Structure 1
Amino acid sequence: MNRFVKLVFIGILAGIILAGFLNIIQSLTGNQAYILLFNMDYIPVLSQWNNVPGIGLIFHFITCITSVVVLYFILQLMRWHKHFLPYFLTYTIGGGTLYTLTALTEIPPLLTNIAAWGFWTLGHGIYGVVVGLLVKHWN
């Protein structure tokens, strides 16, 4: 299997785990961080399709796949592409920072929802663990 296909698979698998984790959190606690995975309301061109069934899911997986492929090749330039830590740190810190985009939409959760931010950041940390380990040991 070539490298690009492996990276796509890693993005899909990690995206499933991220969505599954946040879905479980929503089911157990009612916290709505899960909704953010599929929200395109704050992206001008994509917002018109935000309420079309399935489009948010496609958005989520395109984002997951693209982020894995792009980060891999950026890290490859620095010869860090087979190291776990850059993936974990990038997705954990990046995910925690991207949560602030919730301020640009009326769709919950609110920017001030610290629990949602924590679950969102933890979920992206788990995503980073999955991506980092799979890239390190499989690619």
Structure 2
Amino acid sequence: MIRVLKLTVVGIIAGIILAGFLKIIQLLTHNDAYILLFNTDYIPLLNQLHQWSVVGIVFHFVTCIASVIGLFYILKALEIEYNLLAYILVYSAGSAMLFSLTALSEKTPSLTDFPAFIYWTSGHMIYSFTVGLLVKRWVK
């Protein structure tokens, strides 16, 4: 139980860092990759609540927490749960694939917006490094 609580905190911390990074990018470049973090247009039921910004924020953090807990236990089964590179590879590749969801919404950057793709993927590389480092140093 303590491990799951620690992994939850890791997900929250890494999620804040990811959102902060992409918000800074948005403020500096006016690129809207940040919006992707909170977009629920492609999720049935949640897409009907899109006018409530809190839904997008909760969605972002639930996703962060669930992905940290899920990936930790998948990597644990492979006996590589403390391998920083495993987190970086999985989250970076996964985020690059998830960028395609931008095609499902009018509110997000275009699928061909290369700078948005780079910002999105870079933010998730920072996220993955944060997760891997915190897991390695704090979650035992």
Report the alpha carbon displacement of residue 45 of structure 1 after superposing the two structures with TM. Answer: 2.6
Which moved further from structure 2: 43-52 or 111-120? 43-52
The aligned runs of 1:65-80 (5 Å cut-off) are 65-80=65-80
Which moved further from structure 2: 119-128 or 88-97? 88-97
**Would you say 1:81 and 2:81 are equivalent positions?**
yes
**Would you say 1:10 and 2:29 are equivalent positions?**
no
Secondary structure of 1:54's counterpart equals helix
Q: Is the 8 A contact 2:50 2:56 kept in 1?
A: yes
Report the alpha carbon displacement of residue 46 of structure 1 after superposing the two structures with TM. Answer: 1.5
Aligned amino acid, residue 14 of structure 1:
A
Aligned amino acid, residue 81 of structure 2:
H
**Would you say 1:94 and 2:104 are equivalent positions?**
no
TM-score by length of 1: 0.97
- Take 1:59 and 1:120, find their aligned partners in 2: how far apart are those partners? 17
Q: Is the 8 A contact 2:92 2:125 kept in 1?
A: yes
Aligned amino acid, residue 110 of structure 2:
L
The aligned runs of 1:4-43 (5 Å cut-off) are 4-43=4-43
Aligned amino acid, residue 48 of structure 1:
Q
- Alpha-carbon displacement from aligned partner over 1:42-82 (angstroms, at most 9, x marks no partner): 11231111111311000000000000000001111110111
Aligned amino acid, residue 85 of structure 2:
L
- Take 1:84 and 1:98, find their aligned partners in 2: how far apart are those partners? 21
Secondary structure of 2:112's counterpart equals coil
Report the alpha carbon displacement of residue 107 of structure 1 after superposing the two structures with TM. Answer: 1.2
Equivalent residue pairs, number: 139
- Take 1:109 and 1:51, find their aligned partners in 2: how far apart are those partners? 18
Report the counterpart of residue 125 of structure 2 in structure 1.
125
- Take 2:120 and 2:128, find their aligned partners in 1: how far apart are those partners? 12
- Alpha-carbon displacement from aligned partner over 1:7-30 (angstroms, at most 9, x marks no partner): 000000000000000000000000
Q: Which runs of 5+ in 1 are unaligned?
A: none
Aligned amino acid, residue 26 of structure 2:
Q
Aligned amino acid, residue 61 of structure 2:
F
- Take 2:56 and 2:47, find their aligned partners in 1: how far apart are those partners? 10
Secondary structure of 2:110's counterpart equals coil
TM-score by length of 2: 0.96
